[in-house]
Structure 1
Amino acid sequence: MTHRTRTTLAALAASLAFGLPVGAQAAPTLVESVQGYTLQDGRLATFTGLVFDQGKVLATGDAAALRARYPDAARVDGGGKTLLPGLIDAHGHVFRLGFKTTEISLSGTRDLAEAQGLIRAYGARNPQRQWLLGYGWNQVNWKLGRFPTAAELDAAVSDRPVRLIRVDGHAAWLNTKALQAAGITRETKDPAGGRIERDADGNPTGVLVDKAMALVNEVIPPYSDDDRRAALAAAVAHLNALGLTAVGDAGVTAAEDRIYREFADQGKLTTRIYGMIRDVGDDFKALSAKGPLVGYGNDRYSLRAVKLYGDGALGSRGAALMAPYSDDHVHSGLLFMSDAAMQAAVKSAIRAGYQVNVHAIGDATNHQVLDAMEAAFKEVGGRELRNRIEHAQVIALPDIPRFKQLDLIASMQPTHATSDMNMAEDRIGKERIKGAYAWQTLLRQGTVIAGGSDFPVESANPFYGLHAAVTRTDHEGRPIQGWHPEEAMTLPQAFRAFTLDAAYAEHQEKTLGSLEPGKWADFILVDRDLFRVAPADIWKTRVLQTWVAGQRVYVNENVNAKQD
Structure 2
Amino acid sequence: MNYRPDVVLIAPRLHTMTDALPKGPTAIAISGGRIVRMAPASAAQDWTAQQIVHLPPDSTLVPGLVDSHSHPISGLALTEGVDLSGCRDLADARRRIADEASKGGTRGWVLGWGLDPNLFQAGHLPHRNSIDDVTGTLPGLIRLSDSHSALANTAALRLARIGVTIGMDHPDIIREPGGAPTGLLQEFEAMSLVEKHIPAEPETARQGRLIQLLHHMAASGLTAAFALDASDAPEDLLTTIEDRGDLPVKLRLSPWCMPEQTVDEITTRLGRHGRRWCIEGVKLFLDGTIDNGTAWLESPDQFGQSTKSTWSDPEAYAERVLWFDEHSIPTATHAIGDAAIAHALKILHRQLLRTHHRIEHLETMPLETVRLLAHPRIAASVQPTHCTHFTSADRKDNWSVRLGRQRADTGWRTRDILNMGATLALGSDWPIAPFAPLATMADAQLRRVAGKPEQSPIHPEQGLTAREALAGYTTSAYASIGRAGGAVAVGAEADITVLDRDPLTTPPDELLETRVLATMVDGTFSHRTV
Give the TM-score normalised by the residue count of structure 2: 0.90
2:107 counterpart of 1:134: no
Structure 2: distance between partners of 1:176 and 1:291: 41
SS of residue in 2 equivalent to 1:155? helix
| Equivalent residue letter for 2:310 | F
2:237 counterpart of 1:263: no
Which of 53, 56, 65 does residue 79 from structure 1 map onto? 56
Q: Judge conservation of contact 2:113–2:143 (CA < 8 Å) in 1.
A: yes
Q: Judge conservation of contact 1:96–1:456 (CA < 8 Å) in 2.
A: no
| Equivalent residue letter for 2:487 | S
Aligned-residue offset at 1:27: 3.7
- Name the residue aligned to 2:435: 460
Aligned-residue offset at 1:448: 0.3
2:7 counterpart of 1:29: yes
- Name the residue aligned to 1:9: none
Q: Which one is further off, 87-96 or 530-539?
A: 530-539
SS of residue in 1 equivalent to 2:489? coil
Which of 267, 273, 276 does residue 288 from structure 1 map onto? 267
Q: Judge conservation of contact 1:170–1:318 (CA < 8 Å) in 2.
A: no
Q: Which runs of 4+ in 1 moved over 6 A?
A: none
- Name the residue aligned to 1:369: 344
Identify if the C-alpha distance between structure 1 residues 100 and 189 changes in structure 2 by more than 3 Å, giving closer, same or farther.
closer
- Name the residue aligned to 2:310: 336
Which of 280, 284, 294 does residue 304 from structure 1 map onto? 280
Aligned-residue offset at 1:257: 2.7
- Name the residue aligned to 2:34: 56
- Name the residue aligned to 1:14: none
Structure 1: distance between partners of 2:335 and 2:106: 39
- Name the residue aligned to 1:403: 373
Residues 358-437 of structure 1 correspond to what in structure 2 (within 5 A)? 358-375=333-350, 377=351, 383-405=353-375, 407-422=377-392, 423=397, 424-437=399-412
Aligned-residue offset at 1:161: 1.3
Deviation track 1:232-263 (CA, whole Å, cap 9, x = no partner) reads 21221121111110000112025213323443
Aligned-residue offset at 1:405: 4.6
- Name the residue aligned to 2:331: 356
Which of 409, 415, 419 does residue 440 from structure 1 map onto? 415
Structure 1: distance between partners of 2:486 and 2:29: 17
Aligned-residue offset at 1:61: 4.5
SS of residue in 1 equivalent to 2:429? coil
Structure 1: distance between partners of 2:373 and 2:169: 31
Structure 2: distance between partners of 1:142 and 1:429: 18
Q: Judge conservation of contact 1:55–1:520 (CA < 8 Å) in 2.
A: yes
Kindly tell me the number of residue pairs found equivalent between the two proteins. Answer: 519
Identify if the C-alpha distance between structure 1 residues 190 and 545 changes in structure 2 by more than 3 Å, giving closer, same or farther.
farther
Deviation track 1:528-560 (CA, whole Å, cap 9, x = no partner) reads 2212211222233221222111211113xxxx3
Q: Judge conservation of contact 2:270–2:281 (CA < 8 Å) in 1.
A: no
2:506 counterpart of 1:533: yes
- Name the residue aligned to 1:482: 457
Identify if the C-alpha distance between structure 1 residues 286 and 199 changes in structure 2 by more than 3 Å, giving closer, same or farther.
closer
SS of residue in 2 equivalent to 1:107? coil
Q: Judge conservation of contact 2:225–2:252 (CA < 8 Å) in 1.
A: yes
Structure 2: distance between partners of 1:534 and 1:128: 42
- Name the residue aligned to 1:172: 150
Identify if the C-alpha distance between structure 1 residues 77 and 45 changes in structure 2 by more than 3 Å, giving closer, same or farther.
closer
Identify if the C-alpha distance between structure 1 residues 425 and 120 changes in structure 2 by more than 3 Å, giving closer, same or farther.
closer
Residues 224-239 of structure 1 correspond to what in structure 2 (within 5 A)? 225-239=203-217
- Name the residue aligned to 1:158: 136
Q: Which one is further off, 143-152 or 334-343?
A: 143-152
Which of 182, 185, 189 does residue 205 from structure 1 map onto? 182
| Equivalent residue letter for 1:275 | L
Deviation track 1:22-71 (CA, whole Å, cap 9, x = no partner) reads xxxx8432222532222124x66675232212221123343223434x25
Identify if the C-alpha distance between structure 1 residues 457 and 552 changes in structure 2 by more than 3 Å, giving closer, same or farther.
same
Unaligned stretches of 5+ in structure 1?
6-25
Q: Judge conservation of contact 1:291–1:352 (CA < 8 Å) in 2.
A: no
Structure 1: distance between partners of 2:62 and 2:241: 26
Q: Which has the higher helix share?
A: 1
Deviation track 1:479-503 (CA, whole Å, cap 9, x = no partner) reads 6662111111111111111001111
Structure 1: distance between partners of 2:305 and 2:284: 23
Q: Which one is further off, 210-219 or 304-313?
A: 210-219
| Equivalent residue letter for 2:134 | A
2:327 counterpart of 1:347: no
Identify if the C-alpha distance between structure 1 residues 406 and 497 changes in structure 2 by more than 3 Å, giving closer, same or farther.
closer
Deviation track 1:65-124 (CA, whole Å, cap 9, x = no partner) reads 3434x2556321212222221100010001234445642211111122211221121222
SS of residue in 1 equivalent to 2:371? helix
Q: CA RMSD in A?
A: 2.7
Structure 2: distance between partners of 1:254 and 1:74: 39
| Equivalent residue letter for 1:48 | P
- Name the residue aligned to 1:12: none
- Name the residue aligned to 2:66: 88
Structure 1: distance between partners of 2:218 and 2:194: 33
SS of residue in 1 equivalent to 2:16? strand
- Name the residue aligned to 2:223: 245
Which of 489, 492, 496 does residue 467 from structure 2 map onto? 492
SS of residue in 2 equivalent to 1:302? strand
Identify if the C-alpha distance between structure 1 residues 233 and 285 changes in structure 2 by more than 3 Å, giving closer, same or farther.
farther
Deviation track 1:206-251 (CA, whole Å, cap 9, x = no partner) reads 1112243233234333455435423321221121111110000112
Give the TM-score normalised by the residue count of structure 1: 0.85
Residues 305-320 of structure 1 correspond to what in structure 2 (within 5 A)? 305-320=281-296
- Percent sequence identity is 26
SS of residue in 2 equivalent to 1:90? strand
SS of residue in 1 equivalent to 2:224? strand
Structure 2: distance between partners of 1:454 and 1:131: 26
